[in-house]
Structure 1
């Protein structure tokens, strides 16, 4: 089945499928089969991380899918305990070894950890990785505007992507505006707030009127905002639903109604205070 997601052009010209498949909290022993199913359904963008412990199985699934390597966009992220330059470079080597790839499509700093160390040193390692050609693009995850401002003051290389928590209860207008101003693509994680928004009466009403699921309404809201989105499901039918976002459109009034649900409510840690280094 061909990929049904259009692509977004990153600031270095690399094309990334706008709808990808997330692998957070998928156990390693289930990852290979789950990712194979996602690729069969039509996903061509797989998101993993060193922290998830399932890079090896993602790589196995890509190889066993029968697809050419350049048909599948793969992202991984640097673990929090590897922010020093040499540690970051070694960790990246470990990612390539685990995936079984000669290069990756996108590599991100997973968390800024501003209370722990200097993420500009980490970004220096990311620059080295990018210039080596072993990652087609590099970026960050969970970076707030002050973090990004400091990064840009210390480097000429602008992150291609900022992967942050975004959903109708946390619309992140400030972060998205800063990203857009500097040519950084915003990529929401937890796009349906771990399911919290799916029972919201506003979203349910829109879904009923359009003949769609609440998850499709929320994911379409993300897509129409221009963001890259990486939903996760281990169920084939839900995978298919989550990819079927381009045969309908939300009217402007519905877009505004979903955005108006903002509560500033996080399902994950606050990037300004999170200091986990495991």
Structure 2
């Protein structure tokens, strides 16, 4: 017996398509209107921008990820919760290792100066020790500031990798500077160059972390609070840069200049 489809010749030209179902994200979270802040049409707001170029608060970054709505499937163990802060602290303190060795080296040669007609004198190693102490302080402050930012943006393991990578860059850079500039002949000048470079890096870190702020519900003294605790983007806080970076370096340059004058006076006596 022929079916109804055989009687209808138009059915042969019909193309059957699957019914479009809503995306999984739409079914789970519901439809949500997206702000039209990115466009490729010239003349419109946000033309030429991409999602990675938008300066957003840390809680919205990275923009391509969806924040989990529930706890992790495998919660961290008690050992991991206790070990992670210790690893962070250990990796952070590694920043002062080159400066500690430099300070001890200069203090030793200050008490046991090398012999020779043009060898550095005690006062040169004293000034070098001061610059090494400043270098260690600025390296520790720089690492601490970057750690605070990385803990907001990244999980613990990527944060730890970044900490170790930072030390893997700073340690060889310090050793290379000491070798190329000839620390054995001009210790004060070499450590002054290292300390000044570290102060400049510290000022950049202050700018990089200036877009972090503390949430209103955070405990007193916890988190970062800048510009009234609201999102304002990165800014140069010249007062903080002057106090944290310019002032210590300027004081040591002042001491260095007077030390050179005193060394000349003692040499003429």
For normalisation by structure 1, the TM-score amounts to 0.22
Larger Rg: 2
Name whichever structure is richer in helix by fraction. Answer: 2
Name whichever structure is richer in strand by fraction. Answer: 1
For normalisation by structure 2, the TM-score amounts to 0.23
